Amino acid sequence: MSTSMILPDGKPYSSYSTYNFSFDSDRDLIAFKGEATSIANGQKSHWWIIQSMKDGQTYTIDQDSKKCYK
Protein backbone atom coordinates (compact mmCIF):
# COMPACT_ATOMS: atom_id res chain seq x y z
CA MET A 1 0.00 0.00 0.00
CA SER A 2 1.29 3.49 -0.82
CA THR A 3 0.25 6.71 0.92
CA SER A 4 0.83 10.35 0.01
CA MET A 5 -0.57 13.37 1.83
CA ILE A 6 0.08 16.94 2.87
CA LEU A 7 0.80 17.22 6.59
CA PRO A 8 -0.74 19.98 8.76
CA ASP A 9 2.52 21.94 8.50
CA GLY A 10 2.17 21.98 4.69
CA LYS A 11 4.95 19.47 3.96
CA PRO A 12 4.30 16.47 1.70
CA TYR A 13 4.62 12.95 3.12
CA SER A 14 4.86 9.64 1.25
CA SER A 15 5.26 6.08 2.49
CA TYR A 16 4.78 2.49 1.46
CA SER A 17 3.52 -0.26 3.71
CA THR A 18 3.17 -3.99 3.99
CA TYR A 19 0.43 -5.38 6.22
CA ASN A 20 -1.07 -8.69 7.21
CA PHE A 21 -4.88 -8.67 7.16
CA SER A 22 -7.13 -10.55 9.60
CA PHE A 23 -10.89 -10.79 10.00
CA ASP A 24 -12.67 -12.15 13.08
CA SER A 25 -16.28 -12.89 12.07
CA ASP A 26 -17.29 -13.88 15.62
CA ARG A 27 -16.41 -10.43 16.97
CA ASP A 28 -16.89 -8.45 13.72
CA LEU A 29 -13.31 -7.11 13.83
CA ILE A 30 -10.87 -6.45 11.01
CA ALA A 31 -7.19 -5.84 11.63
CA PHE A 32 -4.03 -4.86 9.78
CA LYS A 33 -0.62 -5.36 11.35
CA GLY A 34 2.55 -4.33 9.60
CA GLU A 35 5.29 -1.88 8.78
CA ALA A 36 5.29 1.51 7.05
CA THR A 37 8.44 2.99 5.52
CA SER A 38 8.86 6.72 4.86
CA ILE A 39 10.01 7.33 1.29
CA ALA A 40 11.81 10.55 2.27
CA ASN A 41 14.16 9.11 4.90
CA GLY A 42 13.58 5.35 5.04
CA GLN A 43 12.35 5.49 8.64
CA LYS A 44 10.26 2.45 9.55
CA SER A 45 7.26 2.39 11.87
CA HIS A 46 5.20 -0.53 13.08
CA TRP A 47 1.41 -0.31 13.28
CA TRP A 48 -1.58 -2.36 14.29
CA ILE A 49 -4.94 -1.06 13.01
CA ILE A 50 -8.13 -2.61 14.36
CA GLN A 51 -11.69 -1.69 13.34
CA SER A 52 -14.93 -2.83 14.92
CA MET A 53 -17.53 -3.46 12.24
CA LYS A 54 -20.28 -3.25 14.91
CA ASP A 55 -19.70 0.39 15.84
CA GLY A 56 -17.23 1.59 13.17
CA GLN A 57 -14.62 2.51 15.79
CA THR A 58 -11.00 2.35 14.63
CA TYR A 59 -8.01 1.86 16.92
CA THR A 60 -4.53 2.61 15.58
CA ILE A 61 -1.68 1.30 17.73
CA ASP A 62 1.83 2.66 17.21
CA GLN A 63 3.90 -0.31 18.33
CA ASP A 64 7.10 1.73 18.47
CA SER A 65 5.83 4.35 20.94
CA LYS A 66 3.25 2.02 22.57
CA LYS A 67 0.45 4.59 21.97
CA CYS A 68 -3.12 3.91 20.90
CA TYR A 69 -5.14 6.41 18.86
CA LYS A 70 -8.91 6.10 18.80
Tell me the pLDDT of the chain (70 aa) as tens digits. Answer: 788 999 899 999 899 899 999 999 999 999 999 999 998 899 999 999 999 999 999 999 999 999 999 9
Q: Are 58 and 49 in contact (CB under 8 A)?
A: yes
Burial of 48 (0-12, 13-18, 19+ CB in 10 A): middle
**Nearest alpha carbon to residue 17 among 8, 52, 39:** 39
- Residue 7, classed as helix, strand or coil, is coil
Full-model pTM: 0.70
Distance CA 1, CA 15 (A): 8
pLDDT value for 39:
86
pLDDT value for 64:
95
- Which residues face 5 on adjacent strands? 13
